Amino acid sequence: MSDVALSLLVLGVFAMIVGAWLAWKRGDRKRMALMAILAAVMAMNIAIWTIPGPAETSLAKSSPAESTLDDQSLADEARGAD
């Protein structure tokens, strides 16, 4: 499911870049700047989700089942036990 979301996000970045270029050609500088900023934010989100972190896995490939803490550790932390 995350592959589909990332693909749509990449298509959105390209659409924002094209839209910003068209807005620039028409002389609408404010809309061009906003679209360019949105494209940059979307691109950063793609980078955050796909670039591997210290554990050599990306956020797109990790799942809640692969967390480092098991259920017992979480329960102990909630009670304040060491």
57 pLDDT more than 90: no
Q: Give the mean pLDDT of 30-50.
A: 94
What is the DSSP annotation of 31-72? HHHHHHHHHHHHHHHHHHHHS--TTS--TTT--GGG-SS-HH
Contact present, 45 and 9 (Cβ < 8 Å): yes
pLDDT value of position 54: 77
Global pTM reads 0.64
pLDDT value of position 53: 73
For residues 24 and 5, what is the distance between their CA atoms, to the nearest angstrom?
A: 28
For residues 6 and 19, what is the distance between their CA atoms, to the nearest angstrom?
A: 20
pLDDT value of position 58: 67
